[in-house]
Amino acid sequence: MSQPIGFAIVGSGMIAEFHARAIAMVPEARLVSVYSRQPEKCREFAASLGVKAASNLDELAHDPAVQAVCITTPSGAHAEAAVPLLSAGKAVLCEKPMDVTLESVDKIIAAAQKGGGLLAGVFQNRLGRGAQLLKQAVEAGRFGRLSLSSAYIKWWRTDEYYTSSNWKGTWKLDGGGALMNQGIHAVDLLQWLVGLPQRVGAFAATRAHAMIETEDTLSATLQFPDGSLGVIEAATSSFPGSDLRIEITGNKGSAALVNDKIVRWDFADPLPSDASILANEDGGKIGGGTADPKAISVEGHRRLVEDLALAIRDKRAPMIPGEEARRAISIIVACYQSARTGTIVDVL
């Protein structure tokens, strides 16, 4: 029996606690160290977990007991931590978004390629049973010629959510508002299901949270390379909040996914398995966060930690490599550019 993979966590906020819980649930992993730029908070977090508090990133980079690191700092500081750790050959599981600009994301990917460390992104919504079944239906061509593929994230956040930190709702460290922070999971799920849109046109507004720099409401129209269309609606201004929803329609079928539960499954050519799919026996285990950022399941993080540990052990790529995690950022950056300039923007 091989020894568990030694993990560290960089960051000590709410999402760091989810990573710690996830690591504790994986027999192939063990938490050995944590680091935060706030020394007192770092020591408190380490003491609560019974692990070592590292004094700096360099210490983690040269610690032989650390083979993988979860990056849970504010979004715009991800590259600052990920690049030196990947350059040192450590594996990295980076929270969404990988960073807030394509330039920073590409630096992270380049560091992984140069240093040889595995790089994995946190997009756990792909792992749900409902999402997997929807992906299989798309790949099997059950929708026929796609017409509309859309994502809706009409969530709610209180003013206190934004005022409780010095980075949420800022361009520098959050990279945007409702679309970049909350909507990114739905954006990634949509593009994973049907591919990258070719062009986007977007409008953004701040409707409920006057204290933030960024948008709390955004609507975008998508055009895909095959000529099909779609919509993204993202908000933290929609009280009391509606669950994440994905809709896919074509000339031979329509389906809808809500928080990983399939709520519509209609096809011109039905299959015997369709009735059981609508029963959602294994759906809905991954998701949440509609009105409360803490109300998410740890199951998705557990699966991603487990996957990275096994990928290190088996010398294979992780389920969601860095290049895959880049794709959602490319869509979001294009939406912001479109909203800012009032033009149709290509997705790069």
Structure confidence at residue 280 (pLDDT): 82
Q: What is the pLDDT of residue 287?
A: 74
**Which of 310, 285, 306, 320 lies closest to 24 in space, CA to CA?**
306
- What whole-number distance in Å separates Cα of residue 304 and Cα of residue 11? 18
Provide the mean pLDDT of the chain. 96
> How far are the Cα atoms of 17, 78, 118 from residue 14, in angstroms, in the given order?
5, 16, 24
CB of 71 within 8 A of CB of 96? no
Instruction: Yes or no: say if 235 and 215 are a contact pair by the CB < 8 Å rule.
Output: no
Q: DSSP string spanning 13-43? A: SHHHHHHHHHHHT-TTEEEEEEE-SSHHHHH
- Distance (Å, whole) CA 58 – CA 240: 44
Domain spanning 5-124+298-321: CATH superfamily: NAD(P)-binding Rossmann-like Domain (3.40.50.720)
Between the two ends of the chain, the Cα-to-Cα distance in Å is 45
Instruction: Provide the pLDDT for residue 292.
Output: 82
Residue 309 near residue 110, CB atoms below 8 Å: no
Give the phi and the psi of residue 248 in degrees, each rounded to 5. -130, 130
**pLDDT, tens digit (0-9, with 9 covering 90-100), for 148-171:** 999 999 999 999 999 999 999 999
Percent with pLDDT over 70 in the chain: 99
* Res. 229: pLDDT tops 90: yes
Q: Is pLDDT at 281 greater than 80 in this prediction?
A: no
Question: Which residue in this structure is represented by tokens 């996957």?
Answer: 307
Residue 20 is which amino acid? A
Q: How far apart are CA 66 and CA 313, in angstroms?
A: 14
- At 196, list the tokens: 């990258």
Residues of CATH 3.40.50.720 domain(s) within the chain? 5-124+298-321
- What's the one-letter identity of residue 238? S
Paired tokens of 327: 């794709």
Fold of 126-292+329-346: Dihydrodipicolinate Reductase; domain 2 (3.30.360)
Is the link from the previous residue into 321 a cis peptide, with omega within 30 of 0?
no
**Closest among 173, 123, 171 to 320, alpha carbons compared:** 123
For residue 117, the tally of other CB atoms under 10 A from its CB is 21
Range name among 82-96, 163-177, 290-304 with the lowest pLDDT average: 290-304
Reported confidence tier of residue 246, pLDDT bands at 50, 70, 90: very high
H helix runs in the chain, sequence order: 14-24, 39-49, 57-61, 78-87, 102-115, 129-139, 159-163, 184-194, 274-278, 299-314, 322-341
Token readout for 207 is 């409707």
Range list for CATH 3.30.360.10 in the chain: 126-292+329-346
Cβ pair 334, 106 in contact under 8 A: no
The token pair that represents 56 in the structure block? 């700096």
For residue 139, pLDDT beyond 70: yes
Spatial CB neighbours of 141, under 8 Å, sequence gap ≥ 6? none
Please report which confidence band the pLDDT of residue 302 belongs to, taking 50, 70 and 90 as the band edges.
Answer: very high
Quote the CA–CA distance of 73 and 81 in Å, as a whole number. Answer: 8
For 18-73, the pLDDT digits (tens) are: 999 999 999 999 999 999 999 999 999 999 999 999 999 999 999 999 999 999 99
